[in-house]
């Protein structure tokens, strides 16, 4: 029986200065578009800035077990089977997964990054066991 790993990451808190600067700049652009150009463009700018980057602003909940990988946000749940993972790499306390399938029009890369792994060595052993 393999151990199950569960943790939550708040990227906005982790990179607070970057998050505040990006938010202020984005808010400035949205207000500028609303006041000087067109309110519809402001709404469109909001959607184009914040929806693709929602993982930065919302908490990410990770679950890694022998059954697979689950990445949850308040708006989305992504389940990845270990059979769909081609390879992995551990970098600076994180885990980078390279699944071979699932490429979509809006996602440029097949790479999935899992941030702030609590037990790097245990997750490395789990990944080695599960990835064939």
- For residue range 29-61, list pLDDT tens digits in order: 889 888 988 888 888 888 888 888 888 888 999
Q: Which two tokens stand for residue 78?
A: 């992504």
pLDDT value at residue 105: 57
Give backbone dihedrals phi and psi of 79, rounded to 5 degrees, phi first. Answer: -110, 130
pLDDT value at residue 45: 84
- Cβ–Cβ under 8 Å, residues 72 and 27: no
| pLDDT tens per residue across all 132 residues of the chain | 567 888 999 988 888 998 899 889 888 988 988 898 888 888 888 888 888 888 888 899 999 888 888 999 888 888 888 888 888 888 887 888 886 555 555 555 577 888 888 888 888 888 888 877
Give backbone dihedrals phi and psi of 66, rounded to 5 degrees, phi first. Answer: -70, -15
**What whole-number distance in Å separates Cα of residue 88 and Cα of residue 40?**
42
């Amino acid at each position: 029986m393999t151990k199950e790993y569960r943790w939550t990451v708040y990227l906005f808190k982790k990179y607070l200065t970057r998050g505040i600067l990006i938010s202020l700049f984005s808010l400035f652009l949205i207000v500028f578009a609303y006041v000087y150009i067109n309110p519809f463009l402001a709404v469109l700018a909001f959607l184009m800035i914040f929806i693709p980057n929602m993982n930065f602003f919302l908490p990410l909940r990770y679950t890694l077990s022998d059954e697979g990988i689950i990445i949850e946000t308040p708006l989305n749940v992504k389940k990845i089977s270990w059979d769909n993972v081609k390879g992995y790499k551990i970098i600076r306390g994180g885990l980078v997964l390279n699944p071979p399938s699932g490429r979509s029009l809006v996602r440029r890369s097949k790479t999935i990054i899992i941030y702030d792994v609590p037990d790097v060595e245990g997750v490395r052993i789990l990944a080695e066991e599960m990835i064939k």
